[in-house]
């Protein structure tokens, strides 16, 4: 694995750093308090090419390899995880999945719009009754002539209230478990689809999270993404790559924690000296720095494996597991450096703790990542 960035990758990283400094970081606290990111950010993310990274240029994407995607995601995560999540879902879970599994017509219809930010995507897998056990979902799509009629409820859907297209997973036959699941691309304005905002989240408060209720939603048969009955494979392939993006976002959180802790420790004095001069404070800071570096290396390893066409699913679970736990630890250590001031939202570290916490829960909890890794190593499924 070559750890030196190419000129192109370094240029993308700088572009992301500048973008975040101008368009994201100055607003992050206000968006968090308002429980809404300014929606104009979607067009800006599209204009700068971040919503089309790794999507081929012939479909309106900006190209780039997976390491470039990690660099951008890390910078966005450093600025505001709510904004990072918009990209991780619309590009990482939806557009990239259409690029991998879509028909030529589906690619031409959705990819240029998703890459430019003219349209936003969301990923509808989780349901009120099925989270970790996603293959047992209950939403049903029943064939009726040239259409499917869909009924069910989806829970905690990132970008849900803003999205123009839902990558929706529904059961198309009654085979138990994941075998009867199919994927569909459903325009969000299809009659019968209602979106209810989820308020009161601990973190990622700026993000538009929704419950989706589908009542007799009629979708044409050609809206199916991938073969019938292969929807669970579509979902798992999306999530495997998605985990790299979550991990890169976690590196961003840990870096923000390091920056904040270093700055504050140099400024704050107690017992007549800057707190940075105390060994126990240095321990907190050095622990954060090790978490940044280790999480980044695991994440870049996934990008490297993907770009070389190698198996990456176990490495993606390892990176997501480690980086998400590292982000929680790093943010918590930074809060400790801030003392009581870390506990109020005039300072940035409380938000980092809240934003980091969900990373160990979504796209597979830490327990689920361990089961995936354990299955790969032992050959025995413990699910």
Catalytic residues: 363
CB of 158 to ligand FAD, least distance (A): 3
Is residue 31 within 8 Å of residue 37, measured between CB atoms? yes
- The verdict on 197 binding ligand FAD (CB under 6 A) reads no
* Nearer to ligand FAD (CB atom), residue 64 or residue 92: 92
Q: Find the part of the chain contacting ligand FAD (CB under 6 A) among 16-24, 113-121, 310-318, 367-375.
A: 367-375
- The verdict on 19 binding ligand FAD (CB under 6 A) reads no
- The verdict on 245 binding ligand FAD (CB under 6 A) reads no
List binders of ligand FAD among 152-171 (CB under 6 A): 156-158
* Nearer to ligand FAD (CB atom), residue 24 or residue 204: 204
- The verdict on 365 binding ligand FAD (CB under 6 A) reads yes
First to last CA, the chain: 33
- The verdict on 136 binding ligand FAD (CB under 6 A) reads no
- The verdict on 123 binding ligand FAD (CB under 6 A) reads yes
- The verdict on 132 binding ligand FAD (CB under 6 A) reads yes
Cα distance between residue 334 and residue 263, in whole Å: 11
Q: Find the part of the chain contacting ligand FAD (CB under 6 A) among 55-63, 138-146, 284-292, 357-365.
A: 357-365
Residue of 95, 120, 125, 275 that binds ligand FAD (CB under 6 A)? 125
Cα distance between residue 250 and residue 359, in whole Å: 7
Distance of CA 230 to the CA centre of its chain: 23
What is the contact surface with ligand FAD in residues (CB under 6 A)?
Answer: 89, 123-126, 131-132, 156-158, 201, 204, 209, 358, 361-363, 365, 367-368, 371, 383
């Amino acid at each position: 694995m070559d750890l030196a960035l190419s000129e192109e990758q370094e240029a993308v990283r700088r572009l992301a750093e500048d973008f975040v400094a101008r368009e994201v970081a100055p607003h992050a606290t206000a968006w968090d308090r308002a429980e809404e990111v300014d929606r104009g950010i979607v067009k800006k993310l599209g204009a700068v090419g971040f919503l089309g990274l790794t999507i081929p240029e012939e479909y309106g994407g900006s190209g780039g390899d997976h390491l470039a995607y990690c660099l951008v995601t890390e910078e966005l995560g450093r600025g505001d995880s709510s904004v990072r999540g918009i990209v991780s879902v619309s590009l990482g879970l939806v557009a990239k999945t259409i690029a991998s599994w879509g028909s030529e017509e589906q690619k031409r219809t959705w990819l240029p719009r998703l890459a430019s930010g003219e349209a936003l995507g969301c990923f509808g897998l989780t349901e009120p009754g099925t989270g970790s056990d996603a293959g047992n979902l209950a939403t049903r799509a029943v064939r009726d002539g040239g259409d499917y009629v869909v009924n069910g409820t989806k829970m905690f859907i990132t970008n849900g209230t803003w999205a123009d297209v839902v990558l929706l997973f529904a059961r198309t036959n009654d085979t138990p478990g994941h075998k009867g699941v199919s994927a569909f691309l459903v325009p969000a304005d299809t009659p019968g689809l209602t979106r209810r905002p989820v308020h009161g989240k601990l973190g990622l408060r700026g993000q538009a999270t929704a419950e989706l209720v589908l009542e007799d939603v009629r979708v044409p048969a050609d809206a199916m993404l991938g073969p019938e009955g292969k929807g669970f494979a579509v979902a798992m392939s999306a999530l495997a790559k998605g985990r790299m993006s979550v991990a890169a976002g976690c590196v961003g959180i840990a870096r923000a924690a390091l920056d904040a802790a270093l700055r504050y420790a140099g400024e704050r004095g107690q017992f007549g000296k800057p707190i940075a001069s105390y060994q126990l404070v240095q321990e907190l800071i050095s622990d954060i720095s090790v978490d940044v570096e280790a999480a980044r290396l695991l994440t870049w390893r996934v990008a490297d494996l993907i770009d070389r066409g190698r198996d990456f699913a176990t490495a993606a679970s390892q990176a997501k597991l480690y980086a998400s736990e590292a982000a929680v630890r790093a943010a918590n250590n930074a809060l400790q450096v801030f003392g009581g001031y870390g506990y109020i939202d005039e300072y940035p570290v409380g938000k980092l703790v809240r934003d980091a916490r969900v990373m160990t829960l979504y796209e597979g909890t830490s327990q689920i990542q361990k089961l995936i890794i354990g299955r790969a190593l032992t050959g025995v499924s413990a699910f």
